Chains A and B, each alone.
Chain A
């Protein structure tokens, strides 16, 4: 089996290098964009309770809709290829980041902000020196969820022509070629596990030492 896999990867007809690049590119663009939009929206929404209500419920609903249904739903509007796939993945990645940014900001103890005000900090200083470090680990947890979701869904995007390892899997399923299916599944799994490991390390790194103990409960949400 390992020999078969090796033969598959080294066969120039299978374009392993460019397929890998396409997959990594798809994931990376989607993750970066989803995180940026999610954090911005989270901050924006935290200033207005009506917007917050809308965003929270829309995000909750998004979580219920199956990923594959979502990927398919954009197909008639955006067509096939890289752009619709990346758009679907971005929209998929926004809710966890947005929700965590919002709840993180909301749950900051009011007295901490008051103390900062009492020390004479300006509004900007309060955001950058108090709120931002406190909310960072919670946002990081959201980023981790989003990143894993995006990496796990990216192979399915091959069904709408996004390329990457999903191409091997899809092609393998249609031709029932086990080696080709495995050739796609193996790197996808490895990348997913690496992202999970790296992100949980990052999350730990960003958590201020004093908050570490009390946060163990926070990660228990899915």
Chain B
């Protein structure tokens, strides 16, 4: 606790200070989620449209998801060395399973009756997608984004092992020389960040639901 409370660790000019590591962590997570969504949204839309694509896509994402994160970082070190891609690639690959699955589930699990009503009102297929499917699918998609972001916050701590900073620095740089106070500070900040982001995105998810079975989507 002392490490967390000491004002010396909040000196903004020190790259190892808590705020700087914190923002570095946020930047890593933000970048990962941005690239992940750019990849997952088109893939998810395609898989929702063409059913044959879904099974192989999920199978590949599932195998990638099964490989332990530290092992994947370890494999990549042999190819990309101590660079940003070594941690960014595993982080992006891990988010794909839950993102694609929730995008497809959100778009396809819509009550067909509502689509009929939309058609009956004279909507064309583009309007049907934009005004019926998408609003109804959004809570499920946000649920996927929420799980992916929280997972990413945790795994991004491995960035420290490939010299990319973040809150993992507090843990991995101090655990070897027994500075438990700093290690625990890192763990507390990491957990707090994950829980806060989880609750914020849960709030967004509930708001997007607009009163329809708010907690039904996991």
> Chain A: residues with CB nearer than 8 A to chain B?
1, 61, 63-70, 72-73, 75-76, 148, 151-153, 155-156, 159-160, 166, 169, 172-174, 176, 178, 181-182, 184-186, 188-189, 192-193, 196, 220-222
Q: Are B154 and A67 in contact (CB under 8 A)?
A: yes
Q: Are B157 and A64 in contact (CB under 8 A)?
A: no
Number of interface residues of B (CB under 8 A): 43
Bound CA span A171–B172, Å: 12
Is B71's beta carbon under 8 Å from chain A? Answer: yes
Minimum CB distance partner of B186 in chain A: A72
Tell me which residues across on chain A come within 8 A of B4, comparing CB atoms: none
Q: Are A75 and B180 in contact (CB under 8 A)?
A: yes
Minimum CB distance partner of B156 in chain A: A66
Q: Are B191 and A192 in contact (CB under 8 A)?
A: no
Q: Are A178 and B154 in contact (CB under 8 A)?
A: no
Q: Is the interface of A mostly helix, strand, loop or mixed?
A: helix
Interface centre among B71, B153, B194 (most CB of A within 10 A): B71
Is B69's beta carbon under 8 Å from chain A? Answer: yes
Contacting residue for B71 out of A66, A155, A160, A176, CB 8 A:
A155
Question: Chain B 31-71 against A: per-residue CB contact (8 Å), 1 yes, 0 no?
Answer: 00000000000000000000000000000001100111111
7 contacts between A and B (CB under 8 A): A1-B78, A64-B194, A66-B155, A69-B190, A72-B187, A178-B77, A185-B72
Q: Known A65-B194, A69-B190, A72-B187; judge A169-B74 contact (CB<8 A).
A: yes
Q: Are B77 and A72 in contact (CB under 8 A)?
A: no
Contacting residue for A65 out of B69, B74, B147, B191, CB 8 A:
B191
Bound CA span A174–B67, Å: 22
Question: Chain B 82-100 against A: per-residue CB contact (8 Å), 1 yes, 0 no?
Answer: 1000000000000001100
Q: Are B157 and A66 in contact (CB under 8 A)?
A: yes
Q: How many A-B residue pairs have CB under 8 A?
A: 116
> Chain B: residues with CB nearer than 8 A to chain A?
62-63, 66-72, 74-75, 77-78, 82, 97-98, 101, 105, 147, 150, 153-155, 157-158, 161, 168, 171-172, 175-176, 180, 183-184, 186-188, 190-191, 194-195, 198, 218
Write the nearest CB–CB distance from B114 to chain A, whole angstroms: 19
Bound CA span A70–B175, Å: 14
Bound CA span A155–B82, Å: 20
Minimum CB distance partner of B101 in chain A: A220
10 new A-B pairs (CB below 8 Å) besides A72-B175, A222-B147?
A65-B194, A68-B154, A72-B171, A73-B187, A152-B66, A160-B175, A169-B74, A173-B161, A192-B71, A222-B101
Q: Known A64-B150, A72-B171, A73-B191; judge A156-B70 contact (CB<8 A).
A: yes
Interface centre among A173, A178, A193, A221 (most CB of B within 10 A): A173
Write the nearest CB–CB distance from A190 to chain B, whole angstroms: 9
